[in-house]
Amino acid sequence: MTPLTGWGRTAPTPATVLRPRSADEAAALLKEAGRRGVVARGLGRAYGDAAQNAGGLVLDCAALAPSWSLDEETGLVTASAGMSLHDLMTALLPRGWFVPVTPGTRYVTVGGAVAADVHGKNHHADSSFGAHLRSLRLLTADGTLRTLGPGDDLFWATVGGMGLTGVVVEAAFRCVPVETSRMRVDVRRTRDLEETLEVMTAGDHDYRYTVAWIDLLARGGRMGRSVLTRGDHARLDELPPRARRDPLAFGPRPRLSAPPWVPDGLLNRATIGAFNALWYGRAPADRRGLIQGVAPFFHPLDGVGGWNRMYGSRGFVQYQFVVPFGAEDTLRRIVERLSRAGVVSFLTVLKRFGEGTPGMLSFPMPGWTLALDIPVGQDGLAAMLTEFDGWVAAAGGRLYLAKDSRMSAATMAATYPRLEEWRAIRRRADPDGLFVSDLARRLRL
Amino acid sequence: MRNALGSVDTVLLLGGRSEIGLAVVERLVRAGASRVVLAARGGTAPAERLRELGAEVHVLDFDASRPETHPALIEEAAAKLGDLDVVIPAFGVLGSQAVYDDDPVAAARDVAVNFGGHVSAGLAAARRLREQGHGALVVLSSVAGVRVRKANFVYGSAKAGLDGFAQGLADSLHGTGVRVVLVRPGFVIGRMTRGMTPAPMSVTADAVADAVVEALGSGRGTVWVPARLRPVFAVMRILPRDVWRRMPR
Ligand SMILES: Cc1cc2nc3c(=O)[nH]c(=O)nc-3n(C[C@H](O)[C@H](O)[C@H](O)COP(=O)(O)OP(=O)(O)OC[C@H]3O[C@@H](n4cnc5c(N)ncnc54)[C@H](O)[C@@H]3O)c2cc1C
Ligand SMILES: NC(=O)c1ccc[n+]([C@@H]2O[C@H](COP(=O)([O-])OP(=O)(O)OC[C@H]3O[C@@H](n4cnc5c(N)ncnc54)[C@H](OP(=O)(O)O)[C@@H]3O)[C@@H](O)[C@H]2O)c1
């Protein structure tokens, strides 16, 4: 038995971890599952307990047949579920293709991207990962490998289904052509939350990628002040002459690694406050046409390996919710309350979502999404977040399963209106409940 | 499942009318637990209050003196609750030493509850928790078992047995994801001790419950209530025998 946690390093539970290298091996290993069932795991970047299965079996799929192919005509990529987006970018960018959606880290597997129906900075323009999927190969509870497409309801129960319908073995999705591996970026600071919302609403559609980083520790008139970064893939003629020689170069390496042991409380109000002030203070008031690599633009945190250890032994939670457009008051109330309570959050990110996918448990819906990281141990944190859950639910919003580690089964049921429909499809595909995770038990999925 | 901030979802209380046990359950429900089983003699227990707090409460019949029923009871509770996040065996009887002196059979019967019942129920629960790979077992020992006194040595020796059982069980569960929280209260003013004169440093059931909940959250394995009983008993334990013998109660 190996103790496992998610990226937030909270609530560890032990499981038997096996590493299938092929679909056949995975099918054979399903038979090893006992009463406690089985769930797939990718690179463990979900923050909570989605890829854990206390007392049961966890199939570590990160070594699942690393293979991919690209149709140079259409940009259709077929990749095994264990491939990471990092590996895919390394393979595809030099050929002039970019993944359709990337989360804030490249170190997620294709299987994890499907299971969480991940979104990126382009959600307002391009929706989430599932929207670009053409087909899936899914290993189901009966040991068979099914090929599924967007016409199958099991496909949409799997997209966003958090590994609970089976093991994704392979996925085919459309990539986007790019002339360069760089981004053309505009950076802009805003005074307060109102201006942040205004500027994003007015200008997001001019960019493929946008996100706002909020300085949560700013109070009073400056509450909600933000740094907006918005950009597009740079065209060849936008690169400086030197970069044009190798316009599709991509070879980022983690530059630093967090030390293996960090004293608890290193990230506290003072250090996070200083970091936030520095970040805001160093951002340009309004700067256009910056040329930046893909890695610093999309994955700034990947520059520090194992940064999650910086939060100390108790770990941290990520709280990410979405509320529909029109519910800005709820967003405002939450930001106000967080800022008043002096909650320390290292990175607080605000983003506008566009259309969702038909994924029944998929998170995104048109509206505002806010994500914050909070070290465990702040007084009153549990009660405050529970209160937020109520506000988010009342506004017709919900929380992201890939980030959640603490909501209640009741909140889940109240905020995912298609849960019953999803359950029925899952029951058909897996009548004995072979696939199960700590998250599934906690939320009684 | 226990969540990232330490709240649990399900609780099983064995000895479903225990004052200390109910005080713990109530706190866990206020912090988010949504399903509870109260297992008590005769199958009646005060479920209403917990229901008012929003929990789904089941009441089962449970007799600590019938070990042959314990494994099935644990399975029945798991069928109602799903995974057992916290199991609290809180049953116990505090008989008088004078009565025991005259009635050895009654003494043995109570020891069978205070020690034997905890062994069978504790092992049955531990088997289930081990399979789950998570969960906590709260064991209510007592300072009476830390060093047994002549004034209540039947009760005290049962608690000493229970204390040792809990320590061994905790060690055998190490690495399985399951925790044992060993609680050593002093004199608790309440139903069990009604009519007795409170000993020094006595506490209430609420204080014990606060300490239990704190330990469940913090991961502490042993709790003394009040905390200062720990240094006090470090001394008590090494008092010479002829001094200890003269302890008035
Ligand atoms: C720094 C950081 C930034 C992030 N930013 C974003 C973001 O911007 N947008 C976003 O959407 N998410 C974001 N995430 C979350 C992350 O994208 C998702 O949690 C993703 O699912 C992680 O993939 P993984 O391979 O690590 O999967 P894991 O974390 O190991 O597993 C996540 C889920 O996927 C399932 N799963 C994994 N592999 C398979 C498979 N082969 N078959 C079936 N199910 C499988 C697991 O069962 C589990 O339910 C971020 C995470 C981090 C750490
Ligand atoms: N109170 C103290 O001073 C003190 C100090 C240290 C440790 N403790 C321990 O803490 C635990 C809880 O005590 P408490 O203060 O909550 O006392 P309590 O309110 O008297 O609770 C004890 C419970 O045990 C039940 N019980 C007794 N025999 C049983 C049997 N054969 N089968 C099933 N249930 C039985 C009783 O049931 P009925 O309701 O039917 O009587 C009662 O509900 C006990 O283990 C006790 O030894 C208590």
On whether the CB atoms of residues A322 and A356 are closer than 8 A, the answer is no
Res B133: pLDDT: 97
Cα of B81 to ligand 2 centre, how many Å? Answer: 23
Series of mean pLDDT values for 10-residue runs along chain A (445 residues): 96 97 96 96 98 98 92 97 96 97 97 98 98 98 97 98 98 98 96 96 96 90 94 96 93 69 72 76 87 92 81 91 98 93 86 98 98 89 96 98 97 98 98 98 97
* Residue A297 forms part of a structural domain: yes
Q: What's the first-to-final CA gap in chain B, in angstroms?
A: 43
> Is residue A2 included in any domain, yes or no?
no
ipTM of predicted complex: 0.92
CA distances from B166 to A296, B147, B163 (A): 53, 16, 5
- Among the options B62, B115, B155, B187, which is catalytic? B155
Residue B23's CB is within 10 A of a number of other CB atoms, namely 20
The length of chain A is 445
CB contact under 8 A, B32 and A8: no
A56 touches chain B (CB under 8 A): yes
d(CA A284, CA A177): 30
Question: Is A75 a domain residue?
Answer: no
Q: What is the CA(B130)–ligand 1 centre distance, in A? A: 28
Sign of CA dihedral A246, A249, A253, A256: positive
The b/e string for A149-187 (b: 16+ C-beta within 10 A; e otherwise) is eeebbbbbbbbbbbbbbbbbbbbbbbbbebebbbbbbbb
> Domain for residue A248, yes or no?
yes
Could B9 and A54 be called an inter-chain contact, meaning their C-beta atoms sit closer than 8 Å?
Answer: no
Domain count, chain A: 1
A2 and chain B in contact, CB less than 8 A: no
Residue A4, domain member (yes or no):
no
> For residue A340, which amino acid is it?
R
Single out the residue of B156, B158, B146 nearest to residue B239, CA to CA: B146
Is residue A242 one of the residues assigned to a domain? yes
Active site residue B155: yes
Say if residues B140 and B89 touch (Cβ distance below 8 Å): yes
Q: How far is CA A383 from the centre of its chain?
A: 25
Taking a C-beta distance cutoff of 8 angstroms, is the pair B84, B128 a contact?
Answer: yes
Stretches where chain B sits below pLDDT 50 are none
Tell whether A331 is covered by a domain.
yes
The pLDDT value recorded for residue A378 is 82
pLDDT at A150: 98
The residue whose C-alpha atom lies closest to atom 3 belonging to ligand 1 is A104
- Confidence (pLDDT) at A254: 61
Domain that holds residue A335: 182-409
Question: For residue A224, what is the domain's CATH number?
Answer: 3.40.462
Q: Please give the pLDDT value at position A275.
A: 74
CA distance B221 to B171: 11
Query: Shortest CA distance to A49 belongs to which of A98, A13, A101?
Result: A13
**Domain membership flag for residue A302:** yes
A382 touches chain B (CB under 8 A): yes
Q: Tokens at residue A310, please?
A: 């910086």
> Which of B4, B132, B175 has the CB atom closest to A55's CB atom?
B132
> What atom of ligand 2 comes closest to residue B42's alpha carbon?
40
Q: What domains appear along chain B, each with residue ranges and CATH number?
A: 10-244 (3.40.50.720)
Site of tokens 């009565």: B99
Q: What is the pTM of this model?
A: 0.95
What is the per-residue pLDDT for A304? 77
Distance in angstroms (rounded) separating the CA atoms of residues A249 and B123? 61
